[in-house]
């Protein structure tokens, strides 16, 4: 078993069987009628050789009694041609000038000596009969496909022919040197230089040179953390294997600049009055950076409130006072600036002695009606002009694109929705009044006071419809998004307190909803302070 025709290296089992009712039997084996040997009923031969082939017979013995011989069985052992493998060292891909060794390995049992034959590119011509064939130095002409074959010295056995293995020979290489994130950096940044050659080649050493100075052997990646100005210069690299060197890469110049420090400026001044317009500007003198993304911080907070180089606060409030600083990041790059020194903006609570009077006296108005705005103070009113700002039309004066100004009064005969804007009075010297938000729309509006309401006063709000307001019309009043009254079209708060401050609007179920208006409440204490600042007492 398994069969009588086998190959070298296989295994075979011969079994001698008699009537199984007989006990105490010995088994006698004979091969090619040679001397008998007593063995077990089963005879196994592992890893067959050609010499194991022949005619096998068996018989059984018990005491002095022998059975007849069995019919002979012929076992034939055929020679199995061994596998052949070609290897190339140091690599199948080498470059001109290296030393290359081709080796032929044959796993042939019972063969003590082989004669080797080497072939190139399918040719029948043998160019070498050595197990190892050496090319030194390699030239481009030896590149090709190599295979080998073996014949037994002093015998007749042969191997199969090996699979072909390709040897590739390249001319001298020139590595590519790359820099990430970029070759122009600020002190404190990090940079990585990478020396790249054909990635199918192994066992490279990399040689680095800066400004043509002494070379140093390092990895393919050279990383410099927290660069200094002295790290700048011209870098080159090359690779080495088995004592042979590639060409140098093209040089790469790394330039290190000092990390810039932004400067914050505030116009018109670091000390302003409430209601004025203030512009914060961040200037960064960063060499080699063409575009910055700016980040503004206030009072040491990590939250960014603006990303513009210039940030404008149109109507300064007391809460805008504080310390401002800025920081820059390169757009499309990795370079960053230091953070600027903080600059303090101071806001005083006393505004210029002028008020904007709106007629009709409310912050919301219908379209197609007359609207008058006047600048009133105790001195010369003629030096004040009405101005406004909106997202649609920007900053414009009265009579520029709307209304007509007579003295300090601006009048428009027929309002339109684009008249929705912030309005204020401004003097020739740049002083401005407290601004007023005015909304113009069709449909429903909320009648609310233009100026802050004093604590303890009565506040009356009305929900008006543009065409008519029937006596039995119902309206819902909301404060900060919550419903506070659902009765008629008028809501009265008899004694105003600071808690009544907020955004108010009204809704008429069948006609629509008004815009929101901010109701500001001031205390009697703040009124006394204002009087003290503007009056002289005997």
| pLDDT given for residue 379 in this prediction | 56
Least Cα distance to 360 among 443, 472, 464, 433 occurs for 464
Q: What does the angle CA 529 – CA 530 – CA 534 come to, to the nearest 5 degrees?
A: 115
Q: Tokens standing for 515?
A: 């815009």
Which tens digit of pLDDT belongs to each residue from 431-465? 788 889 999 999 999 999 998 888 889 999 999 99
Least Cα distance to 68 among 59, 81, 76 occurs for 59
Question: For residue 209, how far is the Cα from the chain centroid?
Answer: 32
Strands 355-359, 394-397: pairing is unpaired
| pLDDT given for residue 513 in this prediction | 94
- Say if CB 278 and CB 268 are below 8 A apart: yes
| pLDDT given for residue 469 in this prediction | 63
| H helix runs in 497-536, sequence order | 524-534
Cis peptide before 409 (omega within 30 of 0): no
Can you tell me which residue has the tokens 């907070």?
301
Fold of 443-538: Immunoglobulin-like (2.60.40)
* DSSP designation for 429: T
What whole-number distance in Å separates Cα of residue 289 and Cα of residue 100?
A: 51
* DSSP designation for 338: P
Host H or E run for residue 144 = strand 144-152
CATH of 176-257, one of 3.90.228.20, 2.60.40.10, 1.10.3720.10, 3.30.470.20: 2.60.40.10
Three-state DSSP state, 342: coil
To the nearest 10°, the Cα dihedral for 345, 349, 350, 352? 60
What whole-number distance in Å separates Cα of residue 395 and Cα of residue 496?
A: 35
Note the CATH architecture for domain 84-170: Sandwich (2.60)
Identify the segments of the chain with pLDDT beneath 50: 525-538
**Half-sphere exposure (Cβ direction) of 417: Cα atoms closer than 13 Å:** 5
- Say if CB 326 and CB 339 are below 8 A apart: yes
Q: Is the pTM of this model over 0.85?
A: no
Host H or E run for residue 372 = strand 371-376
Q: Does CATH number 2.60.40.10 belong to domain 263-348?
A: yes
- 73's torsion region: left (phi>0), alpha (psi -120 to 50) or beta? beta
Host H or E run for residue 55 = strand 54-62
What are the residue boundaries of the structural domains of the chain, listed by start?
A: 5-78, 84-170, 176-257, 263-348, 353-442, 443-538
- Say if CB 207 and CB 239 are below 8 A apart: yes
CATH of 353-442, one of 2.40.40.20, 2.60.40.10, 3.10.20.740, 3.40.50.1100: 2.60.40.10
Can you tell me which residue has the tokens 């109701």?
519
What whole-number distance in Å separates Cα of residue 439 and Cα of residue 513?
A: 13
Q: Which residues 6+ apart lie within 8 Å of 526 measured at CB? A: none
- 440's torsion region: left (phi>0), alpha (psi -120 to 50) or beta? beta
| pLDDT given for residue 345 in this prediction | 95
Can you tell me which residue has the tokens 């006072």?
321
| pLDDT given for residue 531 in this prediction | 39
Q: What does the angle CA 313 – CA 386 – CA 314 come to, to the nearest 5 degrees?
A: 0
Note the CATH architecture for domain 5-78: Sandwich (2.60)
Same CATH fold assignment for domains 5-78 and 263-348? yes
Question: For residue 156, how far is the Cα from the chain centroid?
Answer: 68
């Amino acid at each position: 078993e398994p069969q009588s025709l086998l190959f070298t290296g296989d295994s075979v089992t011969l079994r001698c069987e008699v009537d199984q009712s007989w006990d105490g039997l010995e088994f006698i084996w004979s091969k090619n009628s040679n001397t008998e040997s007593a063995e077990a009923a089963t005879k196994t031969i592992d890893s067959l050789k050609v010499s194991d082939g022949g005619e096998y017979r068996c018989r059984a013995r018990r005491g002095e009694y022998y059975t007849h011989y069995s019919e002979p069985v012929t076992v034939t052992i055929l020679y199995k041609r061994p596998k052949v493998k070609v290897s190339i060292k140091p690599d199948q891909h080498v470059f001109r000038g290296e030393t290359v060794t081709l080796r032929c390995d044959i796993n042939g049992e019972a063969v003590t000596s082989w004669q080797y034959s080497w072939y190139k590119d399918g040719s029948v011509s043998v160019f070498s009969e050595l197990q190892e064939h050496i090319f030194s130095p390699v030239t481009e002409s030896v590149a090709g496909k190599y295979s080998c074959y073996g014949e037994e010295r002093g015998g007749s056995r042969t191997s199969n022919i090996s699979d072909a293995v390709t040897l590739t020979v390249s001319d001298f290489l020139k590595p590519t040197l790359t820099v990430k994130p970029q070759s122009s950096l600020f002190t404190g940044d990090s940079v990585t230089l990478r020396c790249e050659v054909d990635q199918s080649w192994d066992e490279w050493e990399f040689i680095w040179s800066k400004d043509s100075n002494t070379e140093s052997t390092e990895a393919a990646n050279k990383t410099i953390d927290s660069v200094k100005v002295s790290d700048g210069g011209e870098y080159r690299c090359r690779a080495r294997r088995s004592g042979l060197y590639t060409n140098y890469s093209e040089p790469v110049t790394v330039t290190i600049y000092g990390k810039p420090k932004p400067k914050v400026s505030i116009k018109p001044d670091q000390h302003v009055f409430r209601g004025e317009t203030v512009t914060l500007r961040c200037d960064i003198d960063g060499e080699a950076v063409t575009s910055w993304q700016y980040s503004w911080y206030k009072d040491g907070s990590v939250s960014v409130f603006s990303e513009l180089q210039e940030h404008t606060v149109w109507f300064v409030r007391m809460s805008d006072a504080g310390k401002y600083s800025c920081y820059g990041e390169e757009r499309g790059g990795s370079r960053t600036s230091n953070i600027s020194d903080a600059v303090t903006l101071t806001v005083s609570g006393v505004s210029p002695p002028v008020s904007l009077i709106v007629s009709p006296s409310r912050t919301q108005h219908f379209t197609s009606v007359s609207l008058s705005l006047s600048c009133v103070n105790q001195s010369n009113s003629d030096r004040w002009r009405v101005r406004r700002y909106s997202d649609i039309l920007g900053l414009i004066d009265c009579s520029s694109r709307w209304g007509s100004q007579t003295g300090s009064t601006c009048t428009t005969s027929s309002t339109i929705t684009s008249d929705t804007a912030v309005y204020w009075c401004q003097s020739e010297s740049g002083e401005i009044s407290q601004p007023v938000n005015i909304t113009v729309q069709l449909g429903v509006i909320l009648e609310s006071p233009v100026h802050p309401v004093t604590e303890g006063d009565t506040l009356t709000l009305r929900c008006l419809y543009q065409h008519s307001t029937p006596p039995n019309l119902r309206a819902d009043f909301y404060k900060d998004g919550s419903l506070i009254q659902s009765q008629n079209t008028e809501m009265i708060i008899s004694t105003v307190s600071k808690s009544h401050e907020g955004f108010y609007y009204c809704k008429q179920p069948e006609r629509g909803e008004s815009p929101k208006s901010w109701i500001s409440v001031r205390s009697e204490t703040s009124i006394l302070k204002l009087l003290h600042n503007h009056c002289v007492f005997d």
